[in-house]
């Protein structure tokens, strides 16, 4: 990104970023409404500064504001990253995904090269939206409505189903604490059923009308992540059955990849069996970590000896950045 001494060619179009239509809507039946992210665990500094230097801020202020608090925007300035990268013998192996050149410059699905300037902005708008020839890319072709406003050229990487390959460029890589969870998505062929990375992690936000009077769906650029308890809860399905003299809680993985997907993250699922008066009969637990994850489209069981009227299920998430586990899931289950 460059503007003046640091020129920035930021490209998130309100209309262009708007239209991941059919594929993104296909995810909505499973996730009917994603609320605005409300993470309980924050990345420092919390929000990227120097946004006024981005040339796209003038026209796309709302989207820039959303992006500014994401792990993508903070990918370079994150103090945890900066601290850990000093210990790496080959830090350049990490830089490609934290300060990437535009993805269109390389082969789809391959790790990008690190750029040499404007490092402060981490994963920029240009990373996804700037073409090698300088054109601005989007999910559809959009003509410039007025002089001085850039057009948008349709790119397979920003339209169904190419968005998955775009995300996979970095998220299929296992390095440091990061697990290449995009490989799970690919191996399970989740895209065949209409699932997409964007469909889960970018909430439908609003509709806009483009220069031709056509309505288009706009996705928020404030990414949904496991640091948000409400979003993490959506990754788990649960049902209660009675098998002979035992109560069984079956918890299924509804995410498109294993959970958890970052070394240091842990999930504890606690099932409390209650009698008709709400008193505790017995408890059972199941723990997940990157050494013992729940595979994609798989499930785990919590078996409790005895029967009762209901089960109270609680999920707790331990994040490497958090001082204590965060409750992300509370459900009451009945046979």
Res 214: pLDDT: 76
**Pairwise pLDDT comparison (147 vs 156), residue with the higher score:** 156
pLDDT tens-place string over residues 85-142: 998 888 888 999 999 999 887 777 788 999 999 999 999 999 999 999 999 998 888 8
- Output DSSP code: residue 194: T
Query: Mean pLDDT lowest for which of 36-40, 139-143, 278-282?
Result: 139-143
pLDDT tens-place string over residues 230-242: 999 999 999 999 9
Three-state DSSP state, 31: coil
Q: Please, how many CA atoms are within 13 Å of residue 66, restricted to the half-sphere of its CB?
A: 18
- Confirm if 300 and 285 have CB atoms less than 8 A apart: no
pLDDT at residue 316 above 80? yes
What phi, psi does 274 have (nearest 5°)?
A: -120, 150
Res 24: pLDDT: 36
Res 47: pLDDT: 95
pLDDT tens-place string over residues 199-253: 899 887 777 776 667 777 778 899 999 999 999 999 999 999 999 999 999 999 9
Whole-number Å distance between alpha carbons of 199 and 31:
9
- Confirm if 14 and 20 have CB atoms less than 8 A apart: no
Query: Mean pLDDT lowest for which of 46-60, 290-304, 314-328?
Result: 46-60
Is 2.60.40.10 the CATH number for 229-333? yes
pLDDT at residue 191 above 80? yes
Q: Is there a cis peptide before residue 287, judged by omega within 30 degrees of 0? A: no
Three-state DSSP state, 239: strand
What phi, psi does 137 have (nearest 5°)?
A: -110, 150
Average pLDDT in the chain? 86
Res 211: pLDDT: 63
**Pairwise pLDDT comparison (159 vs 13), residue with the higher score:** 159
Res 89: pLDDT: 87
pLDDT tens-place string over residues 40-57: 998 999 999 999 999 888
Res 203: pLDDT: 83
What phi, psi does 165 have (nearest 5°)?
A: -65, -35
**Pairwise pLDDT comparison (141 vs 6), residue with the higher score:** 141
End-to-end CA distance of the chain: 56
Res 3: pLDDT: 40
Share of the chain above pLDDT 70, in %: 88
Please state the length of the chain: 335
- Confirm if 2 and 120 have CB atoms less than 8 A apart: no
Which uninterrupted H or E stretch holds 65? helix 61-67
Three-state DSSP state, 74: coil
- Confirm if 51 and 1 have CB atoms less than 8 A apart: no
Closest CA to 308 of 331, 330, 279, 284: 279
Structure-token pair, residue 26? 């296909």
Domain ranges of the chain: 4-219, 229-333
Res 318: pLDDT: 97
Give the confidence band of 37 by pLDDT, cuts at 50, 70, 90.
Answer: confident
Res 87: pLDDT: 87
What phi, psi does 129 have (nearest 5°)?
A: -110, -5
Which residues contact residue 160 at a Cβ distance below 8 angstroms, ignoring those fewer than 6 apart?
20, 22, 23, 24, 139, 196
């Amino acid at each position: 990104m460059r503007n003046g001494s640091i020129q920035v060619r930021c490209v998130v179009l309100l209309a262009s970023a708007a239209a991941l239509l059919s594929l993104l809507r296909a995810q909505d039946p499973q996730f009917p409404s994603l609320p605005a992210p409300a993470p309980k665990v924050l990345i420092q500094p919390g929000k990227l500064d120097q946004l006024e230097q981005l040339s796209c801020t003038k026209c796309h202020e709302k989207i820039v504001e959303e992006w500014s608090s994401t792990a993508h925007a903070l990918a370079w300035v994150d103090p945890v990253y900066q601290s850990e990268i000093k210990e790496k013998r080959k830090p350049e192996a990490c830089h490609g995904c934290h300060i990437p050149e535009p993805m269109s410059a390389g082969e789809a699905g391959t790790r990008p090269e690190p750029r040499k300037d404007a490092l402060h902005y981490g994963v920029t708008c240009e990373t996804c939206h700037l073409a090698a020839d300088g054109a601005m890319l989007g999910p559809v072709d959009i003509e410039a409505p007025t002089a001085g406003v850039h057009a948008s050229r349709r790119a397979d990487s920003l339209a169904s189903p190419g968005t998955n390959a775009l995300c996979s460029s970095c998220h299929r890589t296992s390095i440091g604490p990061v697990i290449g969870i995009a490989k799970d998505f690919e191996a399970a062929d989740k895209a065949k059923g209409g699932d997409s990375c964007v469909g889960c992690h970018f909430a439908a936000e609003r509709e806009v009308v483009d220069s031709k009077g056509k309505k288009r769906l706009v996705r928020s650029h404030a990414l949904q992540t496991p640091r948000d308890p409400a979003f993490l809860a959506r990754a788990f399905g649960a049902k209660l059955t009675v098998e002979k003299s035992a109560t069984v809680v079956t918890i299924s993985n509804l995410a498109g990849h294993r959970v958890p997907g970052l070394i240091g993250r842990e999930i504890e699922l606690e099932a409390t069996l209650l009698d008709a008066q709400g008193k505790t009969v017995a408890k059972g637990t199941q723990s997940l970590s990157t050494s013992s994850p729940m595979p994609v489209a798989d499930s785990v069981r919590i078996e409790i000896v005895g029967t009762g009227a209901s089960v109270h299920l609680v999920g707790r998430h331990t994040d490497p950045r958090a001082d204590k586990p965060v409750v992300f899931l509370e459900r009451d289950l009945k046979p």
